[in-house]
A and B are shown apart, each in its own frame.
Chain A
Amino acid sequence: MTTIDPEEKKETVPFYPDHIRIEFYVVIGILVLVLVAGVLGMLSPVGLEAPADPLNTPLHVKPEWYFLGLYQVLKLVPPTILGINGPMFAVVVILLAVVALILWPFLDTKQDSKKAMRLRWIFCIAAILIMVALTIWGEVS
Chain B
Amino acid sequence: MNNHARRNLILGVAITLVSAILLVTFGLHARAMTTDSKASQVAWSAASSANQVNPTLEVPPPKQEPCLSCHIFGEDKSLWTPVGRWLIFGTFGLLMVFGIYRSASVWKTHAPWKPLQARMADWLESRYAYRKPLGEVLNKPVHTWAQRWWYCLGGITAFLFVVQAITGILLAFYYKPTAAEAYSSIQYIETQVRFGAAIRMIHHWAANGMIVMCIAHMLRVFIMGAYRKPRELNWMSGAFLLLLTLVFGFTGYLLPWDQRAFWATTVGTDIAGSVPAVGNLVLVFLRVGWDVSEATLGRFYGLHIIITPLLTVTFMLAHFIMIRRLGVQKPL
Q: Interface residues, chain A, CB within 8 Å of chain B?
A: 1-2, 4, 8-9, 11-16, 18-19, 22-23, 26-27, 30, 33-34, 37-42, 45-54, 56-58, 61-67, 71, 74, 85, 87-88, 91-92, 95, 98, 101-106, 108-109, 112-114, 116-117, 120-121, 124, 128
Contact = CB atoms under 8 A, between A and B. Distances in A.
Nearest to A2: B327
Contact of A48 (B140, B143, B163, B258): B258
B47 to A, nearest CB: 44
Contacts of A105: 227-229, 231-232, 235-236
A53 B291 CA distance: 12
Interface of B: 137-145, 147, 152, 155-156, 159-160, 163, 179, 183, 186-187, 190, 195, 197-202, 204-206, 208-209, 211, 219, 222-225, 227-229, 231-232, 235-236, 239-240, 243, 246, 249-250, 253, 256-264, 266-268, 271, 274-276, 291-293, 325-327, 332
Contacts of B202: 34, 37-38, 41
B225 A19 contact: no
Contacts, number: 197
A101 to B, nearest CB: 6
B98 to A, nearest CB: 29
B203 to A, nearest CB: 9
Given A26-B156, A67-B250, A101-B239, A46 B142 contact: no
B138 A57 contact: no
Contacts of B144: 11-13
Q: Is the interface of B mostly helix, strand, loop or mixed?
A: helix
A62 B199 CA distance: 25
A68 B141 CA distance: 43
A22 B159 CA distance: 14
Given A45-B190, A61-B264, A63-B268, A117 B224 contact: yes
Contacts of A11: 143-145
Nearest to A60: B263
A34 B206 contact: yes
A112 B257 CA distance: 48
Contact of B274 (A50, A66, A87): A87
A48 B256 contact: yes
Nearest to B231: A105
Which 8 pairs, one residue from A and one from B, show the smallest C-beta to C-beta distance?
A41-B201, A12-B141, A52-B262, A38-B198, A16-B138, A105-B232, A45-B197, A49-B258
B147 A4 contact: no
B250 A64 contact: yes
Contacts of A51: 183, 257-259
Contacts of B325: 1-2
A120 B225 contact: yes
30 contacts: A11-B143, A11-B145, A13-B142, A14-B140, A15-B139, A16-B138, A27-B159, A33-B209, A38-B198, A38-B199, A38-B202, A41-B200, A42-B198, A46-B197, A49-B258, A54-B293, A62-B264, A63-B268, A66-B246, A67-B268, A88-B274, A88-B275, A88-B276, A91-B271, A103-B236, A104-B222, A106-B232, A109-B228, A117-B225, A120-B223
